[in-house]
Amino acid sequence: MITNPTWVVRDGLRSIVDVMVESGKVEIGGVFGPEHGFRGTAQAGEAEDKDGFTSGVGLDKIAQQHGMTAGELARFYNGEFMPRVAGRPVQDLAVVQVQGWSPGELFADTGAPWIMPSPNLPTPDTALLYPGLGMFEATNLSEGRGTTRPFELIGAPYVDYRWAQRLSGEQLPGVEFREAYFNPTFSKNEGKVCGGVQVHIADPQRVDAIRTATTMMTTLRDLYAEFDWRGDAGRWINLLTGSVRFLRMFAAGDSAAQIVAAWQPELRAFDRTRRQYLLYKR
């Protein structure tokens, strides 16, 4: 089983692993829990040092926010990556489709209870923002770890009211910014009062997490000389974005709109490829 805490049965919200074991009908040879463990108790680990910008964050060419279900991802990997790494695709891949669900639904529309897939994804709102605001892991700002609203609270000791003011003027779709102050209990800037923003979701259907995060970073660059990358000369942001392009354009002073526009041709090509593997109508 490859699973995490979200894999529960409807009756009693019990782990699917526990239910299978207790049934006596399934022999489980092993349980694999990505990053946080299948019980969800582990904090985020450090990425391994691997070939170019390939890492546990991104092992192959796939969009940062790919918009596929686990089953669709399996079909995509099998069709696009397995022939290259294993010589051929898996012949007996079977995906059981979900009934009564539409990809256009938000989590709140499903009626299911939210179960944290990570200690740092406490709410459905967090999950909507994480694909973009997770990039703040590569900066010297706290991404909210050590608070009750990770990836919604972003800040550092050097940030003041000007950041929230500037971001509110950007009028980004689906989000609003509130000037905020917080004191992380662990991780970056632990024990220090950080100024910054809380990102509030105003319209979950319109949120563009990656555009939001890119705009947040370029405004930081323009406002604060203290802004910097974490680690060795920006290697973390290269790992998280999958290339040196984001860092190079950022360092050259390009705007958020220019940076986001740069990857649109690749994103359109990716979308054309992924369409053949989709199981649910978009």
CATH value at residue 219: 3.90.1150.140
pLDDT at 49: 39
b/e for 126-156, b at 16 or more Cβ within 10 A? bbbbbbbbbbbbbbbbbbbbbbebbbbbbbb
Residue 225 lies in a domain: yes
Mean pLDDT over residues 170-177, rounded? 98
Predicted TM-score (pTM) of this structure: 0.89
pLDDT digits (tens, 9 = 90+) for 12-49: 999 999 999 999 999 999 888 776 667 767 666 533 33
Q: Which of 25-29, 38-42, 114-118, 232-236 has the lowest mean pLDDT?
A: 38-42
Position 6 in a domain:
no
The band of 234, judged by pLDDT with boundaries at 50, 70 and 90, is confident
Q: Which domain holds residue 201?
A: 124-264
At 52, the pLDDT band (50, 70, 90 cuts) reads low
| Average pLDDT for the chain | 91
Helix (H) or strand (E) holding 128: helix 124-133
The answer to whether residue 5 sits within a structural domain is: no
Give the pLDDT confidence score for residue 66 in this predicted structure: 93
| Residue 37, in any domain of the structure | no
Other Cβ atoms closer than 10 A to 251: 12
Evaluate whether residue 15 is within a structural domain: no
Q: Strand, coil or helix: what is 135?
A: helix
Q: Is residue 137 pLDDT above 90, yes or no?
A: yes
Q: Which amino acid is at 206?
A: R
Query: Average pLDDT, stretch 242-251?
Result: 95
Tell whether the model's pLDDT for residue 97 goes beyond 70: yes
Round the CA-based radius of gyration of the chain to a whole number and report it: 20
Mean pLDDT value of segment 61-65: 89
Q: Is residue 229 part of a domain?
A: yes
CB atoms within 10 A of CB 280: 14
Q: Does 273 map to a domain?
A: no
Number of domains in the chain: 1
Residue 173 lies in a domain: yes
